[in-house]
Amino acid sequence: MIANLPNILTLARILLLPFFAVTIIYREYKIALLVFILASVTDLLDGLIARIKKQVTYFGRILDPVADKFFLITSFVLMSAYGFIPDWLTIIVISKDVIVLTGSIILYLVTNRLKIEPSFMGKITSASQFVLIGLILLSLNIGETSHMHISLFIWVAVVTVISGLHYIYKGLKIANDETE
């Protein structure tokens, strides 16, 4: 069933994205932080409810990471455009996602099936990226004008690259197993 509460929460997160973008563009950082927190809560609740109520669906397994990627990519692009995140980090984040997406499409064409399985490293990466966005929003709201410490950006870059390499490895292994 597609129209269950977890999937509705995931769709709500996607619908919050334009509001989040507008609040960043118009420098309404308090509202941006509230929208970000609301989106984060829907992200936590959709998976929790899906597992507890046994409402995990194929649609939801695809939609949830897509919603996360939409939110993260939009956040990184906007935060980079306004100088809160270095451009090089945004390029790494987007490049990893484009490579993984392209690899998934190629795997689908080779295997005729789409198997979406987030890795532990992928979850660490998404969590690190979300935490970074949250910390930046928090610092903007407490009037902290200095930028985040470079070590936070390096951490996010490193886990993003490792996650990307891990997904490439997994994809090549699946492709190799399918063509033998």
∠ CA 21-22-25, rounded to 5°: 85
- Give the burial class of 127: count Cβ atoms within 10 A of its Cβ; 0-12 exposed, 13-18 middle, 19 or more buried: exposed
- pLDDT, tens digit (0-9, with 9 covering 90-100), for 114-173: 776 778 998 899 999 999 999 999 999 998 756 668 999 999 999 999 999 999 998 888
Answer whether residue 51 shows pLDDT above 90.
no
pLDDT at 108: 85
Q: What is the pLDDT of residue 57?
A: 86
pTM to 2 decimal places:
0.90
What mean pLDDT comes out for the span 19-44? 95
At 6-31, the pLDDT tens digits run 999 999 999 999 999 999 999 999 99
Q: How confident is the model at residue 104 (pLDDT cuts 50, 70, 90)?
A: confident
At residue 173, the pLDDT reads 85
- What is the distance between the alpha carbons of residues 126 and 75, in angstroms, rounded to a whole number? 12
Catalogue all structural domains in the chain, each as residue range(s) with its CATH number. 5-179 (1.20.120.1760)
Nearest by Cα to 132 from 36, 46, 18: 36
**Residue found by looking up tokens 């997994």 in the block:** 170
Query: Which pLDDT score, from 0 to 100, does residue 147 have?
Result: 65
Asked whether the beta carbons of 10 and 64 are under 8 A apart, the reply is: yes
Contact (Cβ atoms closer than 8 angstroms) between residue 76 and residue 93: yes
Q: pLDDT for 59-87, tens place per residue?
A: 888 889 899 999 999 999 999 999 999 99
Residues in CB range of 29: below 8 A, 6 or more apart: 23, 137, 140, 141
Residue 180, pLDDT score:
60
Average pLDDT, the chain: 90
Helix axes 29-52, 120-141, angle to 10 degrees: 150
Please give the structure tokens belonging to residue 96.
């990893």
Confidence grade of residue 1 (pLDDT, cut at 50, 70, 90) = low
- Cα–Cα distance list, 41 to 8, 66, 71, 132 (Å): 13, 16, 13, 16
